[in-house]
Structure 1
């Protein structure tokens, strides 16, 4: 019998504030592993109980008060917890684990980068570019088949945003960010699973601003969330989905979950 593995990734924008919809996702989709970004909670008060009740007994947490934070919750064993400081300031934006089937799973939350796409006028933008550069250097060294998921905060393709022309000067879709992300992809030959299963120029968004009164009607979305795999691992991916309906759930995140399934 073939082994299957189902992995979900979601920028939850506070796991404690949205624990009800996290539980709903786990009950409806039953992924083997859930990667969360922007958990906004220290490890000591992470809401572990619900995950344990649903069988997610393997937990790797990396948090801080009120900001950032990443977590991996799993029904299958995992080991070798890495916490790389690609922000170079101690913020909890990455964790990586080794799975028993031999591949690595990396969960990352790339900085948003502020509002001005100029590192001189806006240091946060420079930090974001430097973060991607460190990820690129790391990608060059990878030997183990790897899946990296999370909120990259960059929408690289024209069909990844509601208006390419209007967002060219908006942080997340500027040419310098897109170029930086392309450099990271080339550094390891990463396969963009989202665009493998939902080829451009088909519309593909994973984030809609809270500012929109009716996010679905205006549909001013961006594809900020990604799942990339090493070439040998990408060949074993069987499905990839974007769960847009989650954006309408009670007290939603501004991001929606991504799900990928593998067969080994």
Structure 2
């Protein structure tokens, strides 16, 4: 069985329904994981998605904030959700495909503006969330699993437009990278995107603040596709659909793809 998966922080699934449909129609991933849906589950526009072949959905939603959803052409059953750090936020949903693959879809807290938990509660919440992710996967060793989502951390030097300038900027600070590394190690996760694209600058997010995001190209790779070692070798064809950042009324994130032959 071969299937293609995409992950995308959509920044409001209802506001950006047209570009979700565009992605479905033009790229047709078998599984589409969305973050920051900003919608109650019953308000997600499934009618339009079903017309494009996405008959299955599992999701956690909130009005106006957060929210994660897995839309699938393939049958998928819910496999749990966790409220790490007890934030009461809709930030995680897990689903299991008929071939036994479990997909974890995460929206990790952004962490606010100041990388100091003493003065910025949101940064502390982000670190606590990552710590509880680590502990969860250490206690529940994943097998035949994929983890995707907006993890809100660009871990490598070539995952940001300027490593030195961003060392004190939330999303690339050493403490965040260390916390994310611990999550990876706890689950023995493999970074599928960088397995396929091991070298070079690679981004999935460009700020709305840039007047010309494409020319300035001050991006960060915040969106990730990981897999457990038992299936990571079956992954290939990873890519970032950069063009989607330039679509009409875009998200500030671009979709990230990977294909698995299992």
Task: Give the TM-score band, short-chain normalised.
Answer: over 0.9
Whether the aligned pair in 1 keeps the contact of 2:127 and 2:179 (CA below 8 Å) is: yes
Q: Alpha carbons of 1:50 and 1:100: their partners in 2 closer, same or farther (altered >3 Å)?
A: same
Q: Alpha carbons of 1:205 and 1:231: their partners in 2 closer, same or farther (altered >3 Å)?
A: same
Unaligned runs of 5+ in 1: none
- 1:240 matched residue in structure 2: 238
The alpha-carbon deviation at position 37 of structure 1 amounts to 0.2
The alpha-carbon deviation at position 122 of structure 1 amounts to 0.6
- 1:121 matched residue in structure 2: 119
- 1:18 matched residue in structure 2: 16
SS of 1:156's equivalent in the other structure is coil
Tell me the TM-score normalized by structure 1.
0.97
Q: What is the alpha-carbon distance in structure 2 between the residues aligned to residue 179 and residue 62 of structure 1?
A: 28
Task: Choose from 250, 260, 263 the match for 2:261.
Answer: 263
SS of 2:182's equivalent in the other structure is helix
Say whether 1:191 aligns with 2:190. yes
- 1:95 matched residue in structure 2: 93
- 1:33 matched residue in structure 2: 31
- 1:209 matched residue in structure 2: 207
The alpha-carbon deviation at position 238 of structure 1 amounts to 2.1
- 2:72 matched residue in structure 1: 74
Q: What is the alpha-carbon distance in structure 2 between the residues aligned to residue 20 and residue 195 of structure 1?
A: 30
SS of 1:82's equivalent in the other structure is coil
The alpha-carbon deviation at position 144 of structure 1 amounts to 2.6
Unaligned runs of 5+ in 2: none
Whether the aligned pair in 2 keeps the contact of 1:63 and 1:92 (CA below 8 Å) is: yes
Q: What is the alpha-carbon distance in structure 2 between the residues aligned to residue 102 and residue 81 of structure 1?
A: 11
The alpha-carbon deviation at position 258 of structure 1 amounts to 0.6
Whether the aligned pair in 2 keeps the contact of 1:60 and 1:81 (CA below 8 Å) is: no
Q: Alpha carbons of 1:22 and 1:118: their partners in 2 closer, same or farther (altered >3 Å)?
A: same
SS of 2:176's equivalent in the other structure is helix
Q: What is the alpha-carbon distance in structure 1 between the residues aligned to residue 43 and residue 221 of structure 2?
A: 31
Deviations 1:11-43 (A, max 9, x none): 000011111111010011111111000000111
Whether the aligned pair in 2 keeps the contact of 1:194 and 1:227 (CA below 8 Å) is: yes
Whether the aligned pair in 2 keeps the contact of 1:208 and 1:215 (CA below 8 Å) is: yes
Q: What is the alpha-carbon distance in structure 2 between the residues aligned to residue 114 and residue 80 of structure 1?
A: 31
- 1:62 matched residue in structure 2: 60
The alpha-carbon deviation at position 198 of structure 1 amounts to 1.0
SS of 1:5's equivalent in the other structure is strand
Deviations 1:196-247 (A, max 9, x none): 11113x0100000000000011100000000010011101112111000111
Tell me the TM-score normalized by structure 2.
0.98
Q: How many equivalent pairs are there?
A: 261
- 1:130 matched residue in structure 2: 128
Q: What is the alpha-carbon distance in structure 2 between the residues aligned to residue 144 and residue 217 of structure 1?
A: 41
Deviations 1:49-69 (A, max 9, x none): 111111111111211110100
Q: What is the alpha-carbon distance in structure 2 between the residues aligned to residue 237 and residue 161 of structure 1?
A: 24
